[in-house]
Amino acid sequence: MIIITQPNATEEQIERIVARVREFGLDPQISRGASRVIISVIGPEDLAREKPFAALPGVEGIIPRLKPYRLASTEFCPEPSSVAIGEVKVGGHEKVALISGPCSVESQDQILSIARTVKKSGASILRGGAFKPRTSPYSFQGLREIGLRFLAEARKQTGLPVITEIMDARDLSVIEKYADCLQIGTRNMHNFSLLKEVGRSRLPVLLKRGFSATINDLIMSAEYILSEGNMNVLLCERGIRTFENSTRYTLDLNAVPILKSKTHLPVVVDPTHGIGLREFIPQMSLAAVAAGADALMIEVHDSPDLAKSDGQQAIVPDTFAELVPRLRAIAAAIGRSL
Amino acid sequence: MIIITQPNATEEQIERIVARVREFGLDPQISRGASRVIISVIGPEDLAREKPFAALPGVEGIIPRLKPYRLASTEFCPEPSSVAIGEVKVGGHEKVALISGPCSVESQDQILSIARTVKKSGASILRGGAFKPRTSPYSFQGLREIGLRFLAEARKQTGLPVITEIMDARDLSVIEKYADCLQIGTRNMHNFSLLKEVGRSRLPVLLKRGFSATINDLIMSAEYILSEGNMNVLLCERGIRTFENSTRYTLDLNAVPILKSKTHLPVVVDPTHGIGLREFIPQMSLAAVAAGADALMIEVHDSPDLAKSDGQQAIVPDTFAELVPRLRAIAAAIGRSL
Amino acid sequence: MIIITQPNATEEQIERIVARVREFGLDPQISRGASRVIISVIGPEDLAREKPFAALPGVEGIIPRLKPYRLASTEFCPEPSSVAIGEVKVGGHEKVALISGPCSVESQDQILSIARTVKKSGASILRGGAFKPRTSPYSFQGLREIGLRFLAEARKQTGLPVITEIMDARDLSVIEKYADCLQIGTRNMHNFSLLKEVGRSRLPVLLKRGFSATINDLIMSAEYILSEGNMNVLLCERGIRTFENSTRYTLDLNAVPILKSKTHLPVVVDPTHGIGLREFIPQMSLAAVAAGADALMIEVHDSPDLAKSDGQQAIVPDTFAELVPRLRAIAAAIGRSL
Amino acid sequence: MIIITQPNATEEQIERIVARVREFGLDPQISRGASRVIISVIGPEDLAREKPFAALPGVEGIIPRLKPYRLASTEFCPEPSSVAIGEVKVGGHEKVALISGPCSVESQDQILSIARTVKKSGASILRGGAFKPRTSPYSFQGLREIGLRFLAEARKQTGLPVITEIMDARDLSVIEKYADCLQIGTRNMHNFSLLKEVGRSRLPVLLKRGFSATINDLIMSAEYILSEGNMNVLLCERGIRTFENSTRYTLDLNAVPILKSKTHLPVVVDPTHGIGLREFIPQMSLAAVAAGADALMIEVHDSPDLAKSDGQQAIVPDTFAELVPRLRAIAAAIGRSL
């Protein structure tokens, strides 16, 4: 943090600023110019916040430390890191991974059938919700452990590793028994208790961006997980809330290159929730790969109009099968593969 | 839910729509017009969602059930309800309550001193955080149970009932030992596991609006708590995220009359986080009371520039003391008292 | 503008930064600290923009000139200024003005009848649109000069000065013949050609905030008018676009104290368009006065469901008549009058 | 528009609704069901607005006419239309066009040099601003007619047709003398007077989305131009305002497939203003083509840090030259060419 004083700041004010910096156990370094003084604050800056300093008399402005995160940053790890979900690596320079499956696990038949069909089309990871975050307390809340067992069975039969959402720290041990990757949903991105808990898990974590979280907020939430020792975090863009109302959310593909420049973590894009309209999933998937996404997460349901959740945005297996070769062509055009 | 068919919908399409409604165990009622058919769906509509129906061939549009919530609605309870925090009633037609205190409990001296001073100025409820949700994992995370004990001591010495935030369901039993009201913070408004848990508590719950939650989202989260049997819920507007960047958030006072028309629950306004700039807290507090708020929650700190969190937005005790008579005048002007 | 260099900036980089400042005809002042150099840029800073400097090698950060506007600022004029519309003064410390009338002028009878009724209830200025900005090219576009004549007749009969919207610089001379104040609508706040034109008018200008303009954008647009010599500008908050969908816009009352701290110009609030729902106009009007607004602009229509535009948000004359004494009470509570 | 009555609507209420529909000169068609009545409104619906009807007693809900626009719709013209700028066709199924040039025309040398270099790299249309919309009245406002002459000279020397912004209807005749395509900027998308004026021009119009305009708003503004007889309109996505602050705007690529499904007009994407950060223009350009854009508009400047406007977001000619073959590969991957 760098503190710049006003041209007319008094010596007394400057001394008070310096003293305040020292109260936080930090080491101020003072440069005197013709009319202003600049106070650089060195040390573990997380101890201090900029805003209380900005409020001190004599301060004209503050330049914050540019990056409040460490472990997620490209300074900490300059090369893109890859995260293994089961035996599938996500991230790094080359491969783009394809995560697919239904919104909710509804029955053993359903998940087995969808798992087989998406695997055949080219998916390498299976997704499916057993614990469902629902806006209404009266909506379907998921099959819970039974759903997890169906997912595990689908993995056994198809070889696809499994990713599923965790909503409550108390469910961690049961989910760890069955899943290959934990998902933190958009509504829990700021649930710091849950973030710390999955930070102690042995499983990788796919962290979805809160639908009104800034890109920096997302990285800070990843930092919570990383700071507990779990370095296997994937960041997932899934649409933000804007004034636009012809789409369900606004899929923010700008986040892809920005995240990849700020962090070393793999970046996943979820066009299904992002645009939220079945017929436009293919175009947004193609665009996501072109923008540099390391993986896509696409919901597929064999009878979307019977789905217990999110049917209107899932694509059918045939659409998915037709989409994969087009994704492959885009990946090839930017020097990657699917 | 009312389904309207397209003018050229075939009989087969209409039959399929009707069959789908029945599959959900619902009872469709059919009205045939000259060119369109209208299908009213009666029964526990929560079983079905509008969007899958909107996707069926032959459907032109859907009018959703206007209110997806029940227990929070003015239909369920036409009169404004009041909620008791300790012995202080919040809500109903007359009194406006004043909740005040520091952002975080930092020491016994700090909380006692602030509690005494805000009580003297006119506050009737004490707030203070012992478990702190912080964007950075490296920031101060709260004094936890020690902080709760300090709050309880402050209540003993001043008589002010105590409200404090819960972030993790596993902390419920310890917080219940000390607090008079639970607070769900803005970042947990969509943490459905936590909502269900506090729905089983004997304590009232002050539910803060997520900073990007719509008003309906807020009411749906309240419904989660109510549906578990805890009818003592207060709704709190605390600022939403918009493109405006000269304030920290945009305090949305429109939410006050809207919430009061849609629900019977008391409405609290938190101008401190809402505008996030100390010097403008008084004007927004006055406006909140004029808009019809049942309570204000205002952060006060005796030395804001030393505060461990949110110092830049807390007001000092003297400002608070000067504000209270002005709030009283506004309350009187709209026929209420403070 | 203050430029701070990186700790490892080379002498060559610093010289290039300094040279670039001089190329803009500006005078850099250099302060050397132990590890960083701070370059203060003095002079007419509008000649230079921060962002190109931020892109230069060796630059760590920039503190922009805090206020890119001059004539609108409280530095230029520390006391709140008042603007005369006809003989009615708006702004300054005491009086709160009441501007009322229909959205569109629809007929001579309509405008005369509404003018008389709002005057009787306490309005001091009449509003009415003759040139209408409509989202659809197929909607009613206003009565144009005929409407202006009806407004002038209403002024003659009631004594109320008249405010009306200008959408096209080519209409200025005809509007100047009839009106007492020009209104720039929300959709033209960034129409810089029109701003310059009204900056040369002898009439005061009520400038509405663009529905997605920041507070600073609004002040910059006012600066366009002021810089052409017209110092009679009123700023009007009228709702911003957010994700919230239970109101038409989000009336941003935070803008009231913020605008009043940054500028000396009178601040008007338009709750009608802001919340856009008739039944909540009274509460938002009361809140606006409590927040410190210098005037309210409230649409009144005697038969809103017959109105050619915006009927759903206009209040009826009886509601207006009942509201005025309540506004008066709020004004009195904060030491002002209506 | 379809009006649905409440189950308990009285005959009197229904008659009043029907009478009101007829007052607008529209023809209501009534279908009576067991408990509700549905009133379909046929005719030139633009005469009536939904909201006044929604306010009538006995009305439960309204289904608006889905598309308030006609000439822009795919119903009016089911095949994608193409627009000729000079001799370059934009739109249709195959070719993707590349529009490039500096933000502002600064000198004859500058525009000639950039025109030659972007042509060599693969651009087929030249952009450059002669009339500049600037937030600050003290910023560079453009070279005006001199700038237009420089653009015309650049066309003469390179053969590239020229697109330039119009800000004021009074400049139309001079711009028509020199340009091949008019641009309406983001800040004038709602300037209905200007839209009508360019609707009478013989030149095509590139209409930029307002940075807080919904997709429907954009189409309605296009409809203004089309309804005056100018059918040569191109729609341009250029970033919207959201809460995200690590990019200048949020480039909304969702708009590409949505616009292409709702209208037949060509869709252009401007990544330069959209993300506003030079280093990420390439990724967003690739993503835009993958999403289905018919053209890209990319700002190029040979010395961005000397640019009089928007230097921080322009890319240098070398970056542009490297980008074009990558765009070509993406275009090929989706079956198009560049």
Which pLDDT score, from 0 to 100, does residue B42 have? 63
- pLDDT interval class at B299 (50, 70, 90): very high
> Which residues of A fall below an 8 Å CB-CB distance to D?
212, 214-216, 240, 242-247, 250-258, 261, 274-275, 279-280, 283-284, 286-292, 326, 329-330, 332-334
Full DSSP string of A53-99: HHTSTTEEEEE--S-S-STTBTTT--SPPEEEETTEEEESSSB-EEE
Q: Do A170 and B167 touch (CB under 8 A)?
A: no
Test the B interface: residue of C244, C285, C322, C324 with most B CBs within 10 Å: C244
Number of helices (H), then strands (E), belonging to chain A: the values are: 11, 14
pLDDT surpasses 60 at B92: yes
Q: Do C33 and A34 touch (CB under 8 A)?
A: no
Contact C238, C249 (CB under 8 A): yes
What's the burial of C301, exposed, middle or buried (CB within 10 Å: 0-12/13-18/19+)? buried
Which pLDDT score, from 0 to 100, does residue B46 have? 47
Residue from the list A2, A38, A242 with its beta carbon closest to the beta carbon of C31: A38
Region D68-84 average pLDDT: 90
pLDDT surpasses 90 at B256: yes
Which pLDDT score, from 0 to 100, does residue A120 have? 97
Contact B300, B127 (CB under 8 A): no
Per-residue pLDDT of chain C (338 residues; tens, 9 = 90+): 778 888 778 888 888 888 888 877 777 877 776 667 878 776 554 445 565 677 778 887 777 655 678 899 988 899 999 999 999 999 998 899 999 999 999 999 999 999 999 999 999 999 999 998 877 787 778 899 999 999 999 999 999 999 999 999 999 999 999 999 999 999 999 999 999 999 999 999 999 999 999 999 999 999 999 999 999 999 999 999 999 988 999 999 999 999 999 999 999 999 999 999 999 999 999 999 999 999 999 999 988 766 666 667 899 999 999 999 999 999 999 999 99
pLDDT surpasses 70 at B10: yes
Q: Do D286 and A334 touch (CB under 8 A)?
A: yes
Q: How far apart are CA D135 and CA B162, in angstroms?
A: 49
Q: Is the ipTM of this complex over 0.85?
A: yes
Give the pLDDT confidence of B217-239 residue by residue, as tens digits: 999 999 999 999 999 999 999 99
Region B168-192 average pLDDT: 96
Rg over alpha carbons for chain B, rounded to the nearest Å, is 23
| Residues of chain C found within 8 Å of residue D133, distances taken between Cβ atoms | 190, 192
Give the pLDDT confidence of D97-106 residue by residue, as tens digits: 999 999 999 9
Give the pLDDT confidence of B128-140 residue by residue, as tens digits: 999 988 777 877 7
Give the pLDDT confidence of D303-333 residue by residue, as tens digits: 876 666 666 788 999 999 999 999 999 999 9
Give the pLDDT confidence of A180-195 residue by residue, as tens digits: 999 999 999 999 999 9
Which pLDDT score, from 0 to 100, does residue D139 have? 76
Coil, strand or helix at B285: helix
Which pLDDT score, from 0 to 100, does residue A34 have? 62
Half-sphere exposure at residue D82, Cβ-oriented, CA atoms within 13 angstroms: 16
The one-letter amino acid code at C305 reads D
Region D64-85 average pLDDT: 85
Region B57-73 average pLDDT: 78
- List average pLDDT for each run of 10 residues in chain A, which is 338 residues long: 80 87 77 73 56 74 72 90 96 94 94 97 97 81 93 98 96 96 96 94 97 94 94 97 92 98 97 93 98 97 74 88 98 96
Q: Which residue in C320, C314, C267 sits closest to C295, CA to CA? A: C267
Q: Is the pTM of this model over 0.80?
A: yes
| Residues of chain B found within 8 Å of residue A193, distances taken between Cβ atoms | 167-168, 170
Which pLDDT score, from 0 to 100, does residue B141 have? 82
Task: Using the structure block, give the residue that is written with the tokens 């506003």.
Answer: D276
Distance from CA of B56 to the nearest CA of A (A): 7
Which pLDDT score, from 0 to 100, does residue A2 have? 77
- pLDDT interval class at B335 (50, 70, 90): very high
Which whole-number Å values give the CA distances from C216 to A62, B243, D76, in the listed order? 20, 12, 42
- pLDDT interval class at D45 (50, 70, 90): very low
Give the pLDDT confidence of D206-248 residue by residue, as tens digits: 999 999 899 999 999 999 999 999 999 999 999 999 999 889 9
Region D180-201 average pLDDT: 96
Region B280-304 average pLDDT: 95
- pLDDT interval class at D29 (50, 70, 90): confident
Distance from CA of A11 to the nearest CA of C (A): 17
Which pLDDT score, from 0 to 100, does residue C29 have? 76
Contact D237, D251 (CB under 8 A): yes
Give the pLDDT confidence of B192-202 residue by residue, as tens digits: 999 999 999 99
Give the pLDDT confidence of D258-268 residue by residue, as tens digits: 999 999 999 99
Distance from CA of B2 to the nearest CA of D (A): 9
Q: Which residue in C186, C214, C218 sits closest to B250, CA to CA? A: C214
Distance from CA of C198 to the nearest CA of D (A): 14
Binding partners of A (≥3 Cβ pairs within 8 A) = B, C, D
Compute the mean pLDDT over every residue in chain B, rounded to the nearest whole number.
90
What's the burial of D177, exposed, middle or buried (CB within 10 Å: 0-12/13-18/19+)? exposed
